[in-house]
Amino acid sequence: MEKAQNCASQQRPKRSAGQTNRQEKQAAIVSAGPLTINMRVKSIHPSDWAEHISMVVIIAAFISFLGICVLSLSAIKAVMVYYEKLRLQ
């Protein structure tokens, strides 16, 4: 049977393999110029923006309808009060 080796007792070089060979050229990071972002790329989760916009439009239309109803009733009441005053005179 072979004797088990302790990993902690093994000596490891302190330099990486790329640094030990001095004849290799060192790599450099060069700029590729300005980066552009393609906004047409579909994300992992599809956007619900169209659904949100349609919901906002529906709510705005409903509030507008209620406002027109209140204004109409107010105008009808004003006309009725006006003709009531004319009849009593």
User: CA 20: distance to chain centroid?
Assistant: 48
- State pLDDT tens for residues 21-54: 555 566 666 666 776 666 666 666 667 788 899 9
* pLDDT tens sequence across 54-69: 999 999 999 999 999 9
- Neighbouring residues of 64: CB distance < 8 A, sequence distance ≥ 6: none
Alpha-carbon torsion (65, 70, 76, 78), positive or negative: negative
Q: What are the sequence ranges of the domains in the chain?
A: 52-89
